[in-house]
Homo-oligomer: A and B are copies of this chain.
Amino acid sequence: MRKQIVKYALIYGVCGGLLIAALKLIEYRFLVLEHSIEIYGALIALVFASVGIWLGLKITRKEQVIVERELIVEKEVLVPSTLPFVRNEQRLQELAITRRELEILGLMAEGLSNREIGEKLFVSENTVKTHSSRLFDKLDAKRRTQAVQRGKELGLIP
C-alpha cells in the first residue's frame, strides 16, 4: 500500500505539472492576469488536495475480504453516518487472532448461530465451536455476546 501511494503521488505530480503548463499556455493565448501563476498553483493544489483526501478515504475503506454475503435482501440500514471502519490489525496480532476466528467473530456479531455460521462457511458446527472457544479465550469473553462487544471495543469488527 505504501508503494501504491508513492506511485499515485508521482502520477499526480506529473499530472499537476502538465496541468499547470496547460493553464500557462491558455494564459498566454487568452488572458493575462496578475498573480496568475499563484492562482493556478492554488487551484492545482486545491484540486489535488481534494483528490488526495478522497483517495485517502477510499483506500482505507473496504478491504473487508471475508466470505460472500448472502444475496437475499437489501436491507435499509439506518445506521447514522457509518464512518469507514478501520480494522485494528495490530491488536489482532497482539491477541493472535486468526483470520478464520475473526471471520467467525464477524458472523457472530451479525447474530448468526453456530450452525448458520457453519453452513455459511461450509464447515461443521463443531468446527465453528472450536473456533469460537479459542476466540472467547483470546478475547477473555465468556459468551458470544461478550465476545462481540469486546471485538467492537477493540476495533476488530465494525
Contact = CB atoms under 8 A, between A and B. Distances in A.
Interface residues of A, number: 72
A61 B18 CA distance: 33
Interface of A is mostly: helix
B45 A111 contact: no
A78 B155 contact: yes
Interface of A: 5, 8-10, 12-21, 24, 35, 37-46, 48-62, 77-81, 83-86, 88, 91, 108-113, 141-150, 152-155
Given A42-B14, A78-B88, A86-B61, A21 B37 contact: yes
Contacts of A53: 5, 8-9, 52-53, 55-56, 59
